[in-house]
Chains A and B, each alone.
Chain A
Amino acid sequence: GAGVSQSPSNKVTEKGKDVELRCDPISGHTALYWYRQSLGQGLEFLIYFQGNSAPDKSGLPSDRFSAERTGGSVSTLTIQRTQQEDSAVYLCASSFGQGSPLHFGNGTRLTVT
């Protein structure tokens, strides 16, 4: 079946603009994760959704970052008033829940100029 799909694959935006990044998880996966990866670095946890539970937002770096997951499926990560330090690859993953392997999308490369 289809894997995790992220769009857009690349986004260039001007400093101060808002951006929305989309993630379509694998059908039936109850858990959805957003991570951020700077060039040559590891993955920085941002936010985690599990079923109908309140999301774990502990990794969001500032209040400019927010995420929603509608209907337990598609998720949108929104970054308001983008800054140059927001430039990174934003990776989405989904799974059947705790203890299950994560399936990653190919990410959205965000460049803030």
Chain B
Amino acid sequence: SQQGEEDPQALSIQEGENATMNCSYKTSINNLQWYRQNSGRGLVHLILIRSNEREKHSGRLRVTLDTSKKSSSLLITASRAADTASYFCATDAGNAGKSTFGDGTTLTVKP
């Protein structure tokens, strides 16, 4: 089974609204990353948060990490139609090296 699970599976909002997506994981991690995937394309890295960090910002993106609850959230503020995409969280755990991805949240921003 996947290490990370995002919810909701799908989210539809109006342009200008904020979008919040959540990610839960099962084992201890070194870091957690969020990626975006536009239809038919590869994934693009958005932001990385390390296990000793609680919050990180990048432009309109805000990521929080709660290691006690094994969860993270991605907030996109003032959404735009161009933010329409699937968003995935990925975790690096232990010395495995590999990143494990969840099933993603599909975000639709209506103009």
Q: Which residues of A contact B (CB under 8 A)?
A: 4, 31, 33, 35, 41-43, 45, 48, 50, 56, 59, 91, 93, 97-99, 101-107
Contacts and interface: CB of A to CB of B under 8 A. Distances in A.
B88 A56 contact: no
Interface string B1-43: 0100000000000000000000000000011010100001111
Contacts of B64: none
B97 A50 contact: yes
Contacts of A91: 42-43
B44 A56 contact: no
Contacts of A43: 43, 88, 90, 101
A102 B97 contact: no
B97 to A, nearest CB: 5
Contact of A42 (B48, B88, B97): B88
B83 interface: no
Nearest to B94: A98
Interface of B: 2, 30-31, 33, 35, 40-45, 48, 50, 88, 90, 92, 95-104
Contacts of A48: 97-98
B98 A99 contact: no
Contacts of A50: 97
Contacts of A99: 30-31, 48, 50, 92
A56 B96 contact: yes
